[in-house]
Chains A and B, each alone.
Chain A
Amino acid sequence: MTAASKSTNKRACKNALFRIKERAGDTVVLCVLLGGVLLFILWPMLCIALRSFRAADGGFTLEAYSNVLSKYGTSIRNSVVVGICTAICTTILSLSAALTCATRRSWGRTLCMILLTAAMVAPPFVSSLAYIQLYGRRGWITYRLLGLSWNPYNLAGVVAMQSLSFTPLNALFLLGVLDKLDADSLRSARDLGAKPSAILRDIVLPLMRPGLLVSMLLSFVRSLADYGTPVIIGGRSVTLAAEVYLQVIGYSNLEKSSAMNMFLLVPSILFFFIYRALMRRSDKLTAGSRSAQGGLSLPLTRCGSVGWLALIGSGLFFVLTLLQYGCVLLSGFLKSKKGVYSFTLDHWNELWSIGASPVVRSVVYALIVAVVGTLFAALFAYYMDRRRVPGRAFFDCIATMPYMLPGTCFGIGYILAFNHAPLKLTGTSIIVLANMLFKQLPTSAKICSATLAQLQPAQERSAQDLGAGRLAVIRDVVLPNMRPALLSCFVYNFTSSMTTAGAIIFLIDPSRQLAVFRLFDAVYRGDYALASVLASVITAIVLAVEGLVWLLSRKEGKRRVS
């Protein structure tokens, strides 16, 4: 009797202890998440903001702002024009690609998906170089093939390049929206006599409207923040992001570039709130479909002009993308002698002189960021969406901001923020890793949020009901159910870490170089052949890792089903 009550007592004690531990753990996790966002996003941005008000003598001034407004009106206008055009073109292209992909069956769809995923890998700058090589004044296609001679250095080129490079991600996003459409709605429409063209017009497109708006918003904002493309092919025209870059590398004017960044942040905050409202509407229109079977049975060839346009648009996108990749790969093997091209392995031999260490280090960093970043994003999305965290709109908004800032500026912000004790991180690997992680957080968190919205909260409640503590719920129910999102997040983080150079230039330590920095350096020096080789190597590594992840997930998926 006493023994039994003793053991019950003991168990109760243990339970209580376990509960306290869980609660403490939960608080610690939350603090790490919020602290991370405050420290690595808000603090650097505050540093930039403070810098923009700093006068030459260290006092307060608004000079930088009046300077920007009076002198860079054209740049601001260019940014907006390019942003709007890119948003429209990207959305049309990605809608085409998504529709084509969704209406293909089995292998056709797989092929489309592979092409879209592969197209996301394009390392920075190199695609712009390929653009010049293909469509420039002496482009392989424009000049040699078509005999045209035109000046490609203008904003139209920037719009074209940005649209091509933004399309894959947007197409995958729209494909997600399409897959969530209620298949029974489409079948009902057909049943009532609607031809495929009418279904597309009356049902599919209206239901996708919030999704399409989000796609436009995403590409508009991305276009605003993109400096690489306008710097290389903008010609005489400068956008605000390119101007930020020039102010940093040309004039070394941190105050002015900081003020310009503040101008980019205003649309960012607006963007955040519009995005949230739109996503809610999109979820209302598309979520809750129980009959989604994947695959839209809608033959585009019978969808009238819209269907044909979609087919042509996606065909165009795939052809242009393949051409670009082909061009980059080929450039690594070509040598020009007085206008005559010949095959060579010289550039690849040059690669060996760089050595393996930057490449290996890149892969290690990318893996770290992919693992930590994915976990961080998943937990962050969970706490923001499912827990009543005080001030969550604020934290969510902060976490979205790095999406808006040109990479260069986010890098400068990090130097400003972390150059003094007790926050001295400059010269360490941590600053590079943190910068990559938090620059990518907005997108990863959104990926996780979208999947989280599909999960029934009932699951979490049942787990809690059965006695699981807060952390246990996350570990046993939330994370396992977010598997697809975690995988996409991992791939996205890995890819971006391998291919994004913007911020890293300022943070990298001479003793710890990265492959993408060598690529940037090669582009900067005009060694396009070496740049092509490096780009090919980076692309190959990323594709290999993506393939591996995909295979593993398929195997795992099969195991689970059986």
Chain B
Amino acid sequence: MKKITALLLVLVMALGLSVGCAQQEVNTQPDPTEAPAATEAPVAEATPEVVASAEPEKPELSGTMKVVATGDVYGPLFEEFTKDTGVTVEVLSMSSGEVLSKLRAEGGTPSADLWFGGGIDAFMSAADDGLLEPVVFDAANDLAPEFRNADGYWYSKGITIVGFLVNDGLLEELKLDKPASWDDLTKEEYKGEIVMSNPAVSGTNYAVVNALLQAKGDAGWDYFEKLNENIAYYGRRGSDPKNKVTADEFAIGITYVDPSIEKLTEDYNVSVIYPSDGIPWVSEGVAAFKNAENVEAAKAFIEWLFSNDDHLRQLASVENKTGVKIIKPSIEGVELTYDASILMDEDLSLFGKQREEILARFEPMMGDKAAQE
């Protein structure tokens, strides 16, 4: 009996420990009453009305805001938010597909409060399913209209652009020229040397498909049929094309392009190519989850972020991206690192509407039958 008692004791202690850990995290956050005092920054930028409307909300802010984000670089931004409001932030990185699946499975009881980053089509689809909470604030009017939902269900925090990452050494070895445009990619010589991600998994690669279909009209599907013959395989992670090219495995990867990709050229024998016939792009969303435990904090965060250009500038600097300039043209101190005119003309609203249809048509192409030809 003694042994079992001892065992149980260990168990109880262990359980207590894990619960204790969790509780501690909750307890260590600063006293919420301190929060209003710390909020100085918004006053400088925002109109007096905003401050007034925000004031009654602020004392309610407390606890922890749980965030699902696409990366883990946002630490400094969230720290700033904690400093201003007293809300502690916990971040978990998840791809947008995972978030959407989890949301649907949870059936209206989301375990996170804020969704930060990921292709806008997932946000559109979540909004259609009624899984998001509208956030309305005055500064939203400063954002370009295509970058916010009319009812405030989602906002764009920036844009991701897509280009090629090519392996110079491998191309040289294969005696091939660098591809310069999307049309180049269908040349027979690149057969088996191109990697792109499954558009269902990768928001950026979905943007490629949707944007090129929009641009090419009826000829779009012919283009992808041809491209498909050159594609070695479709990666199941967004980072696959980049990784396979830097590892010298494949010559050309269709990937998102940002300063971190540009930086790869220092360490690897690779170069970045902006296709001459246009750059597909997709905006990245931010939204609060409906019915979330701390939905107030998430709403406050969205308002906090967009109402103060300092915060947007900080976002741009931690992400090392400049797309914010397109979202909020009036912002100063952020300049685009690329020429906005090379971006393709896209109707973003189609991204959500056509997603299912396009992916359903794309899916059979990606199987192994095509590869056996």
Q: Which residues of A contact B (CB under 8 A)?
A: 71, 74, 78, 132-133, 136-138, 151, 153, 231-232, 235-238, 242, 245-246, 248-252, 254, 335-339, 357, 361, 364-365, 367-368, 371-372, 375, 412, 415-416, 419-420, 424, 426-427, 429, 433, 475, 505-506, 508-513, 517, 521, 523-526, 528
**Complex Cα distance A405/B238, Å?**
25
**Complex Cα distance A232/B201, Å?**
13
**Complex Cα distance A461/B188, Å?**
78
Give residues 351-373 of B contacting A (CB, 8 Å).
359, 363-364, 366-371
**Complex Cα distance A151/B112, Å?**
41
Contacts A361-B21, A419-B106, A419-B107: A232 and B236 contacting too (C-beta < 8 A)?
yes
Min distance, Cβ B368 to any Cβ of chain A, angstroms: 4
Cross-interface CB contact of B11 among A71, A335, A368, A412, cutoff 8 Å: A368
Interface flag for B313 (CB, 8 Å): no
- For B39, list chain A residues within 8 Å (CB): none
**Complex Cα distance A390/B205, Å?**
55
Min distance, Cβ B372 to any Cβ of chain A, angstroms: 9
Instruction: Report whether A367 and B14 are in contact in the complex, using a CB–CB cutoff of 8 Å.
Output: yes
A–B Cβ pairs within 8 angstroms, 5 of them: A236-B371, A338-B269, A420-B107, A426-B106, A526-B240
Instruction: Report whether A506 and B105 are in contact in the complex, using a CB–CB cutoff of 8 Å.
Output: yes
- For B25, list chain A residues within 8 Å (CB): 511
Instruction: Report whether B101 and A254 are in contact in the complex, using a CB–CB cutoff of 8 Å.
Output: yes
Give residues 21-44 of B contacting A (CB, 8 Å).
21-22, 25
Nearest CB to that of B114 among chain A residues? A510
Contacts A231-B236, A250-B97: A74 and B369 contacting too (C-beta < 8 A)?
yes
Contacts A238-B367, A336-B268, A361-B18: A153 and B11 contacting too (C-beta < 8 A)?
no
Given A250-B198, A364-B18, A508-B92, 8 further pairs, Cβ under 8 A:
A132-B249, A235-B368, A236-B368, A248-B101, A254-B101, A371-B11, A424-B109, A506-B102
Contacts A236-B371, A368-B14, A510-B66: A415 and B106 contacting too (C-beta < 8 A)?
yes
- For A153, list chain B residues within 8 Å (CB): 232-233
- For B223, list chain A residues within 8 Å (CB): none
Contacts A249-B98, A513-B92: A365 and B368 contacting too (C-beta < 8 A)?
no
Interface flag for B336 (CB, 8 Å): no
Interface flag for B348 (CB, 8 Å): no
Min distance, Cβ A255 to any Cβ of chain B, angstroms: 10
Interface flag for B52 (CB, 8 Å): no
Instruction: Report whether B101 and A427 are in contact in the complex, using a CB–CB cutoff of 8 Å.
Output: no
- For B101, list chain A residues within 8 Å (CB): 248-249, 252, 254, 412, 506
Instruction: Report whether B22 and A511 are in contact in the complex, using a CB–CB cutoff of 8 Å.
Output: yes
Min distance, Cβ A9 to any Cβ of chain B, angstroms: 25
- For B91, list chain A residues within 8 Å (CB): 510
- 8 closest pairs, A vs B, by CB? A250-B200, A526-B239, A510-B92, A252-B100, A510-B90, A415-B105, A526-B243, A249-B97
- For A433, list chain B residues within 8 Å (CB): 18
Instruction: Report whether A248 and B233 are in contact in the complex, using a CB–CB cutoff of 8 Å.
Output: no
- For B76, list chain A residues within 8 Å (CB): none
Contacts A232-B236, A371-B7, A475-B4: A251 and B97 contacting too (C-beta < 8 A)?
yes
**Complex Cα distance A509/B17, Å?**
16
Nearest CB to that of B370 among chain A residues? A236
Instruction: Report whether B237 and A252 are in contact in the complex, using a CB–CB cutoff of 8 Å.
Output: no
Instruction: Report whether A510 and B67 are in contact in the complex, using a CB–CB cutoff of 8 Å.
Output: yes
**Complex Cα distance A151/B244, Å?**
12
- For A511, list chain B residues within 8 Å (CB): 22, 25, 64, 66, 90
Interface flag for B340 (CB, 8 Å): no
Min distance, Cβ B370 to any Cβ of chain A, angstroms: 7
Min distance, Cβ A94 to any Cβ of chain B, angstroms: 29
Nearest CB to that of B198 among chain A residues? A250
Nearest CB to that of A524 among chain B residues? B237
Instruction: Report whether A251 and B102 are in contact in the complex, using a CB–CB cutoff of 8 Å.
Output: no
Instruction: Report whether B200 and A371 are in contact in the complex, using a CB–CB cutoff of 8 Å.
Output: no
Cross-interface CB contact of A506 among B17, B98, B198, cutoff 8 Å: B98
Cross-interface CB contact of B243 among A71, A517, A528, cutoff 8 Å: A528
**Complex Cα distance A136/B100, Å?**
33
Min distance, Cβ B294 to any Cβ of chain A, angstroms: 11
Instruction: Report whether A412 and B269 are in contact in the complex, using a CB–CB cutoff of 8 Å.
Output: no
Min distance, Cβ B51 to any Cβ of chain A, angstroms: 30
- For A249, list chain B residues within 8 Å (CB): 95, 97-98, 101, 201
Contacts A429-B18, A510-B66: A251 and B359 contacting too (C-beta < 8 A)?
yes
Contacts A250-B198, A365-B18, A371-B11: A236 and B367 contacting too (C-beta < 8 A)?
yes
**Complex Cα distance A78/B368, Å?**
10
Nearest CB to that of B228 among chain A residues? A236
Interface flag for B134 (CB, 8 Å): no
**Complex Cα distance A242/B368, Å?**
14
**Complex Cα distance A250/B21, Å?**
34
- For A357, list chain B residues within 8 Å (CB): 21
Contacts A235-B233, A524-B95: A509 and B1 contacting too (C-beta < 8 A)?
no
Nearest CB to that of B269 among chain A residues? A338
- For B368, list chain A residues within 8 Å (CB): 74, 78, 235-238
Interface flag for B111 (CB, 8 Å): yes
Cross-interface CB contact of B104 among A231, A242, A252, A429, cutoff 8 Å: A252
- For B66, list chain A residues within 8 Å (CB): 509-511
Interface flag for B130 (CB, 8 Å): no
- For A248, list chain B residues within 8 Å (CB): 97-98, 101
Interface centre among B15, B72, B240, B249 (most CB of A within 10 A): B249
Nearest CB to that of A528 among chain B residues? B243
Min distance, Cβ A127 to any Cβ of chain B, angstroms: 16
**Complex Cα distance A509/B239, Å?**
24
- For A525, list chain B residues within 8 Å (CB): 71, 93, 239
Nearest CB to that of A421 among chain B residues? B109
Min distance, Cβ A124 to any Cβ of chain B, angstroms: 14
**Complex Cα distance A151/B369, Å?**
16
**Complex Cα distance A136/B368, Å?**
19
Instruction: Report whether B201 and A420 are in contact in the complex, using a CB–CB cutoff of 8 Å.
Output: no
Interface centre among B111, B122, B233 (most CB of A within 10 A): B111
Interface flag for B221 (CB, 8 Å): no
Nearest CB to that of A416 among chain B residues? B105
Min distance, Cβ A420 to any Cβ of chain B, angstroms: 7
